């Protein structure tokens, strides 16, 4: 069961977005074949995979048939049903495991997992009714953020609340579904740590990444983060503990808030390569996607060393407002690398691609990445 999955074998990816695409590109470079399954067609992953299967995630027979055609299954999207991960695991190894997915795909469960083990998190409460929402707001304190427990990412299903009276309106807005209430954190910086754990417990990390969000969506990441070394070591140490406590195999990202008094609070765990780690493709010896291939295939982890300071900016559908962005202008900015995900429909807020820039310093890299994005439209 634990023999490595070697080049020439086939990796099955549940989900078919940009994370699967970048994973597939690295896997194919290394000589693997890649199959992807999702309800879509002509998807970002499907465009570069050897086989694109179109099926619903709750079609367990389709999942089993998919698993029979591959040597290992991973996922690029944490909202894959546990039943789907379990059905695939009847046939081939699934990495990371369904149990790690189970904990991290539901905010309330993830927060309880962290709080029960003594990890630092913002005050939070769970609410399954309007009454519980009111009680929770009282307990957590205001201002607060209400987040739907499932299917929330990039700020989807999130609402800020400044008074108890706003609870009823927000409960309606989120469709009366289970939610968690979190105290609004007054942070001075948001950071993340992208790290991997191998099948034999080996650990590798990319240091601390500094992130700026706009409308709850990641806008800019720079690495290395500009913060005191002690805080960075603590963030890496906490991430290592999370990987161990989850018995995790693969790449994972822990997102943190840094408070004014230098404390760290874990915001969330993403059980997969992460948007803030995209710079690793162009700036590190081993990218987060190659690292994911190595970990899920049971190989040694690669060297995560960063070669040059880097910055990454996301390209959202908003940039298409005046038609196709001016790619040639962006490519004229030195040390800028373009990544587009093959998505046809540039909706507002949709992640269409990203730019990575390298520099002598993170300031220089960020200036180049922002300049290249500015000239797009
Ligand atoms: P999330 O989907 O939970 O990662 O949230 C997306 C972004 O919303 C975070 O990166 C923060 O910028 C912001 N945010 C989420 N939760 C909080 C909180 N409790 N306090 C302050 N800002 C938050």
pLDDT band at 78 (very low <50, low <70, confident <90, very high): confident
Mean pLDDT, residues 232-249: 98
Mean pLDDT, residues 44-48: 98
Mean pLDDT, residues 337-357: 97
Domain-located, residue 103 = no
pLDDT value at residue 157: 75
Q: Which ligand 1 atom is at minimum distance from the Cα of 156?
A: 2
Is residue 213 pLDDT above 60, yes or no?
yes
Distance CA 77, CA 94 (A): 14
Is residue 75 pLDDT above 70, yes or no?
yes
Is residue 230 pLDDT above 90, yes or no?
yes
Q: How many residues does the chain have?
A: 377
Q: Is the CB of 189 under 6 A from ligand 1?
A: no
Residues 143 and 209 in one domain: no
- What is the DSSP track for 344-372? S---TT-EEEEEEEE-SSHHHHHHHHHHH
Q: Are the C-beta atoms of residues 236 and 256 closer than 8 Å to each other?
A: no
Domain range for 44 is 10-94
Q: Is the CB of 216 under 6 A from ligand 1?
A: yes
Distance CA 45, CA 38 (A): 10
118 Cβ contact list (under 8 Å, min separation 6): none
Distances (CA, A) of 177 to 103, 126, 181: 18, 11, 12
Nearest to residue 180, comparing CAs of 215, 136, 117, 119? Answer: 136
Tokens of 244: 């161990």
Q: Give the containing element (helix H, strand E) for 34.
A: strand 33-38
Q: What residue owns the CA closest to ligand 1's atom 11? A: 216
Q: What percent of the chain has pLDDT over 90?
A: 89
Distance CA 40, CA 21 (A): 14
pLDDT band at 173 (very low <50, low <70, confident <90, very high): confident
Pocket test for ligand 1, best of 155, 212, 270 (most atoms within 8 A of CB): 155
Domain-located, residue 118 = no
Residues 221 and 304 in one domain: yes
Q: Is the CB of 40 under 6 A from ligand 1?
A: no
> What CATH number corresponds to the domain at position 82?
3.40.50.20
Tokens of 325: 């962005």
Mean pLDDT, residues 8-28: 98
- Environment class of residue 230 by beta-carbon count within 10 Å: exposed (0-12), middle (13-18) or buried (19+)? exposed
Q: What percent of the chain has pLDDT over 70?
A: 98
Is residue 1 pLDDT above 60, yes or no?
no
Residues 168 and 237 in one domain: no
**What secondary structure letter does DSSP report for 302?**
P
Is residue 31 pLDDT above 60, yes or no?
yes
Residues 346 and 200 in one domain: yes
Residues 216 and 249 in one domain: yes
Distances (CA, A) of 106 to 153, 167, 174: 11, 21, 15
Is residue 53 pLDDT above 80, yes or no?
yes
Compute the distance from residue 300 Cα to the ligand 1 centre, in Å: 34
Mean pLDDT, residues 150-158: 69
Is residue 364 pLDDT above 60, yes or no?
yes
Mean pLDDT, residues 304-309: 98
Distance CA 258, CA 332 (A): 36
Q: Are the C-beta atoms of residues 9 and 71 closer than 8 Å to each other?
A: yes
Mean pLDDT, residues 349-369: 98
Average pLDDT, the chain: 95
Backbone φ and ψ for 191, nearest 5 degrees, come out as -135, 165
Q: Are the C-beta atoms of residues 120 and 235 closer than 8 Å to each other?
A: no
Instruction: Count structural domains, the chain.
Output: 3
Q: Is the CB of 145 under 6 A from ligand 1?
A: yes
Q: Are the C-beta atoms of residues 4 and 27 closer than 8 Å to each other?
A: no
Distances (CA, A) of 65 to 12, 32, 89, 99: 11, 19, 12, 22
Residues 335 and 249 in one domain: yes
pLDDT value at residue 158: 86
- Each residue of 85-121: pLDDT tens digit? 999 999 999 999 999 999 998 899 999 999 999 999 9
Tokens of 306: 């960063």
Is residue 2 pLDDT above 80, yes or no?
no
- The single residue listed with the structure tokens 């161990």 is 244
Nearest to residue 289, comparing CAs of 370, 369, 201, 206? Answer: 206
Domain-located, residue 34 = yes
Tokens of 246: 């989850």
Pocket test for ligand 1, best of 267, 272, 276, 351 (most atoms within 8 A of CB): 267
Residues 261 and 196 in one domain: yes
> What CATH number corresponds to the domain at position 134?
3.30.1490.20
Domain-located, residue 135 = yes
**What secondary structure letter does DSSP report for 306?**
B
Backbone φ and ψ for 85, nearest 5 degrees, come out as -60, -40
């Amino acid at each position: 069961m634990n023999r490595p999955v070697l080049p020439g074998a086939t990796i099955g990816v549940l989900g078919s977005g940009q994370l699967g695409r970048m994973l597939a590109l690295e896997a194919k470079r290394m000589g693997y074949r890649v199959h992807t399954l999702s309800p879509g067609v002509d998807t970002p992953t499907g465009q570069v995979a050897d086989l694109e299967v179109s099926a619903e995630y709750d079609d367990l027979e389709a999942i089993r048939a998919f698993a029979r055609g591959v040597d290992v299954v991973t996922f690029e999207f944490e909202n894959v049903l546990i039943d789907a991960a379990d059905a695939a695991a009847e046939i081939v190894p699934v990495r990371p495991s369904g149990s790690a997915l189970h904990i991290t795909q539901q905010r309330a469960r993830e927060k309880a997992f962290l709080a029960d083990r003594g990890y630092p998190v913002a005050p939070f409460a769970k609410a399954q009714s309007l009454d519980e929402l009111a009680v929770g707001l009282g307990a957590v304190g205001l201002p607060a953020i209400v987040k739907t427990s499932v299917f929330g990412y990039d700020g989807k299903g999130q609402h800020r609340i400044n008074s108890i009276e706003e609870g009823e309106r927000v409960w309606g807005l989120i469709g009366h579904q289970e939610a968690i209430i979190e105290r609004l954190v007054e942070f001075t910086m948001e950071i993340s740590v992208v790290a991997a754990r191998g099948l034999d417990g080996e650990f590798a990390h990319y240091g601390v990444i500094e992130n700026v969000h706009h409308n709850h969506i990641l806008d800019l990441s720079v690495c290395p983060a500009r913060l005191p070394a002690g805080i960075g070591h603590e963030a890496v140490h906490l991430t290592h503990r999370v990987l161990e406590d989850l018995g995790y195999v693969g790449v994972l990202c822990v997102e943190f808030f840094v408070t004014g008094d230098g404390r760290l609070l874990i915001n969330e765990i993403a059980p997969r390569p992460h948007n803030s780690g995209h710079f690793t493709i162009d700036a590190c010896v081993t990218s987060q996607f190659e690292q994911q291939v190595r970990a899920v295939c049971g190989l040694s982890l690669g060297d995560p060393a960063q070669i040059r300071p880097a910055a990454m900016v996301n390209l959202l559908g908003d940039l298409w407002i005046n038609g196709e962005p001016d790619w040639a202008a962006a490519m004229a900015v030195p040390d800028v690398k373009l990544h587009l995900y093959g998505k046809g429909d540039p909706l507002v807020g949709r992640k269409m691609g990203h730019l990575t820039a390298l520099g002598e310093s993170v300031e220089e890299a960020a200036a180049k990445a922002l300049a290249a994005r500015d000239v797009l439209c």
